[in-house]
Amino acid sequence: MVEDLSKRAELLLEALPYIQRFAGRILVVKYGGAAQTDQTLRAGFARDVVLLKFVGIHPVIVHGGGPQITKMLDTLKIPTQFIDGHRVTDSASMDVVEMMLSGLINKEIVSLIQQAGGRAVGISGKDGGLALARPHHLSRMKEDGSIEQVSLGQVGTIDRIEPGILHSMIEGGYIPVIAPVSPDADGRSMNINADTMAGEIAAALKADKLILLTDTKGVLHENEVLTGLTPVRVRELIREGVISGGMIPKVECCLNAIESGVARTHIIDGRVPHALLLEIFTDRGVGTLIAGQIERG
């Protein structure tokens, strides 16, 4: 019993320098995957976020909701079209996307955080002029070798982030919870990739960290997690084929954030209980760190 208590004390002492280091800093978390759908992990994530706020760190949450959206589209019998594996968001689908992201999912996360003792406010990119988007087009090669731009409907990419509303919320002691929906210049709602939204918000807030919660251990090579990566090394790993498939857009998101001034980016396994705290407050962490200048933390 005494030995167990001593180990807990050692963990708290290990966390102390990180608490001191990141106090007052902004940390943007993309929340998705199993951490968002598993009931136990959901409750643990909410407590983790509240703890961060109480020790003086300012978490900003950007969430996804793909599985929930797909389930609702199926329930409503709204057909989904894909182009080269990319979902097309038409007007009917966008209504469901916005209903689920800005409504149900967003408010569930706010409620969980508040049940854990925090103060959270749910918004989307449409609120307070937070974001402006433009339509995203998919580039693909035609049979004659030329490149065509294919519309994905109301799928957008971020043009601009105005973080004033987020600064006001942070200064007021609130935890912002952001749904990745943004208007375009004509006021149409656009569906934004949550990783991309989180990266753009981290850059606009000059966040110290961008953390992507995923359903993988991080960047893997021969089943080992690679960490302490620089942008140069990441690009080498892409060329070597070590980083491939769905991991490429995640590391590209991290690289873009670093180029925009975010100090550290992390890709971590949200299936691990309290992964957020383990990555921030322990020496080894539990995922892949990518930073311009490598220094653990």
256 annotated ligand binder: no
Report whether 66 belongs to an annotated binding site.
yes
Q: Which 3-state string (H, E, C) describes 75-121?
A: HCCCCCEEECCEEEECHHHHHHHHHHHHHHHHHHHHHHHHHCCCCEE
User: Which residue in 256, 251, 297 sits closest to 27, CA to CA?
Assistant: 297
Quote the Cα angle for 97-98-104, to 5°. Answer: 95
End-to-end CA distance of the chain: 31
**Are 170 and 206 contacting, i.e. CB atoms less than 8 angstroms apart?**
no
Quick one: 187 exposed, middle or buried, by C-beta within 10 A (0-12, 13-18, 19+)? exposed
173 is in an annotated binding site: no
Residues 287 and 296: beta-carbon distance below 8 Å: no
Q: Please tell me whether 191 is known to bind a ligand.
A: yes
Binding-site residue positions: 65-66, 87, 191
Binding-site residue positions for substrate: 65-66, 87, 191
